[in-house]
Amino acid sequence: KQTGEIAIDRETGAPLATVGLLVADDGEGNLYQVTVPNTGVPENLAPGTPVTVIGLKARDWENTFNGQTRHGISFRAVAVTPLGA
């Protein structure tokens, strides 16, 4: 982000996009950011559309910068498609 370069998917060569997915369970919602090749996201995908996530993987990460350690889980998918498409 700092250099303005666009991240590229190593397998397909497509630029990567970030899609925010709201997952609701028992009335509680959580927002997850999922990285997807832009070829796997339909142009007409509108906010609030129920979707199917194809090839979802989660990976834990940790890094230390200026003496502070941060950690989390990153999510990656092959595609996000409207439910029933």
pLDDT per residue over 12-43, tens digit each? 889 999 999 999 888 899 999 999 999 999 99
pLDDT-based confidence at 5, cuts 50/70/90?
confident
Q: In the prediction, which pLDDT does 1 show?
A: 62
Q: Regarding predicted confidence, which is higher, 58 or 3?
A: 58
**Max Cα distance, the chain (Å):** 47
**Contact of 21 with 32, CB cutoff 8 Å:** yes
**Contact of 55 with 15, CB cutoff 8 Å:** no
**Contact of 33 with 65, CB cutoff 8 Å:** no
